[in-house]
């Protein structure tokens, strides 16, 4: 049984055709702009695009997705910069920008789920039983928690999580740009805040701007044309004048790390297991990697092996522990490094960007990690 109907839960349900899977959840309705683009997007790695291909949903999604052929990262001194290109990496794309609504739609095509709210979870020696608020219940040999940062499954299984409030919010909105974006993803570190402009089709970009909560509230209250001017200024007019193409939405930012990914008859995936800062755009990529690995382990288990066997689930935990820890450490380190106000640290981090840009071997390592 998979609890949670977001992209990670829905992709896992699709990835297990050989098992009888009950999906508890429904596809969230995403908000699209007047031009038809969702204001919430994801930058998916080539490896996860391959996962979507194997699930048979990529062809239906590709017509709306935008390829990323280059990435330009700017420091906070106005001069430091780091650029990655698909050509350098020897691939056709570094990533693909996909809309939340489009991804949800293709993943849910042909799936059915129950939108009932969960009330209790009992974990037994031979099975688990989930009870809903209407009093009905369903049993399963394995419960997968894909139900987000406030995971009912994680809490019911007694798995502790370390949490931290960043005291930041992410603003998302779409803009039409005066200059062609050239399928380039842009990012500006701003001494704490981080602004990203991601390419959409039709010369539009999607903004993800991580800011202190008070500044995010101020910008959210601006008229859309005033917000567009602020974004153009913060992006140093790299794409010329910007015009609003959607409303602005705001999401509070927190860091979360579950102390365990599994318990007897329970496995956690996606935000139920880990939530990272969006500055590297790796949140959903990590979650889809969870789904890929768990599906592979369940599909390759020995004939007759109980899918909820704790020793089997520990294989999943061991395979995912290092990649999750490594990504969390990198992102937390970048957040601390670029949020530091010390002048010497500022010079060091900007010099580091320029140095990395001049070291092809190091750049290639970073690109390969991001594309996994």
pLDDT tens digits, one per residue of 355-371: 444 444 344 545 555 55
Strands 137-140 and 204-212: unpaired
The pLDDT assigned to 34 comes to: 43
Strands laid side by side in the 118-123 sheet? 118-123, 128-132, 137-140
The pLDDT assigned to 33 comes to: 45
Which is more confidently placed, 190 or 89? 190
The pLDDT assigned to 195 comes to: 95
Name the percent of the chain lying above pLDDT 70: 85
Report whether pLDDT(272) > 70.
yes
The pLDDT assigned to 13 comes to: 96
Range in 79-83, 123-127, 184-188, 287-291 the model is least confident about: 79-83
Range in 148-152, 325-329, 362-366 the model is least confident about: 362-366
Whether the CB-CB separation of 193 and 215 falls below 8 Å is answered with yes
Main-chain phi, psi angles of 359, to 5 degrees: -115, 95
Strands 184-189 and 70-74: parallel
Strands 194-199 and 184-189: antiparallel
Superfamily for domain range 2-26+113-160+259-339: FAD/NAD(P)-binding domain (3.50.50.60)
Main-chain phi, psi angles of 356, to 5 degrees: -60, -35
Nearest Cα to Cα of residue 228 among 253, 193, 252, 204: 204
Find the mean pLDDT for residues 317-331: 88
Whether the CB-CB separation of 31 and 241 falls below 8 Å is answered with no
Report whether pLDDT(329) > 60.
yes
Report whether pLDDT(340) > 70.
no
Range in 17-31, 53-67, 89-103, 186-200 the model is least confident about: 17-31
What ranges do the domains of the chain cover? 2-26+113-160+259-339, 41-99+166-253
Cα-based distances in Å from 211 to 48, 232, 252, 254, 324? 28, 16, 10, 12, 24
Q: Was domain 41-99+166-253 assigned CATH 3.30.9.10?
A: yes
d(CA 111, CA 118) in angstroms, rounded, equals 20
Find the mean pLDDT for residues 18-23: 92
The pLDDT assigned to 330 comes to: 74
């Amino acid at each position: 049984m998979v609890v949670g109907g977001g992209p990670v839960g829905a992709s896992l349900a699709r990835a297990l055709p050989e098992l009888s899977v009950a999906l508890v959840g429904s596809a969230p309705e995403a908000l699209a702009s007047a031009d038809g683009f969702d204001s919430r997007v994801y930058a998916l790695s080539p490896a996860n695009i391959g996962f979507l291909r194997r699930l048979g949903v990529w062809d239906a999604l590709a017509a709306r997705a935008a390829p990323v052929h280059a990435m330009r990262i700017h420091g906070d001194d106005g001069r430091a910069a780091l650029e990655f290109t698909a050509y350098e990496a020897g691939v056709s794309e570094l990533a693909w920008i996909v809309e939340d609504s489009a991804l949800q739609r293709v993943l849910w095509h042909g799936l059915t789920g129950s939108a009932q709210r969960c009330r209790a979870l009992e974990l037994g020696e031979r099975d688990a039983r989930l009870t809903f608020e209407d009093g009905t219940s369903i049993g399963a040999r394995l419960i997968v928690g894909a139900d987000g940062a406030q995971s009912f499954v994680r809490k019911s299984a007694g798995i502790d999580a370390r949490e931290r409030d960043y005291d930041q919010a992410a603003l998302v909105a779409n803009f039409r740009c005066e200059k062609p974006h050239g399928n380039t993803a842009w990012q500006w570190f701003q001494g704490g805040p981080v602004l990203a402009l991601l390419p959409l089709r039709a010369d539009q970009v999607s903004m993800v701007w991580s800011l202190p909560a008070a500044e995010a509230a101020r910008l959210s209250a601006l008229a859309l044309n005033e917000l567009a001017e602020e974004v153009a200024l913060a992006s140093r007019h790299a794409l010329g004048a910007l015009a609003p193409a959607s409303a602005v939405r705001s999401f509070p930012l927190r860091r979360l790390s579950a102390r365990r990914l599994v318990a007897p008859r329970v496995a956690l995936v996606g935000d139920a297991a880990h939530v990272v800062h969006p500055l590297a755009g790796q949140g959903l990529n990590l979650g889809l990697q969870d789904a890929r690995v768990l599906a592979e382990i369940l599909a390759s288990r020995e004939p007759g092996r109980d899918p909820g066997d704790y020793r089997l689930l520990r294989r999943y935990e061991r395979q995912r522990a290092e990649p999750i820890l490594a990504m969390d450490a990198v992102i937390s380190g970048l957040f601390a490094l670029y949020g530091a106000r010390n002048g010497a640290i500022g010079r060091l981090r900007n010099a580091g960007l320029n140095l990395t840009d001049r070291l092809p071997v190091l750049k290639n390592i970073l690109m390969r990690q991001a594309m996994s």
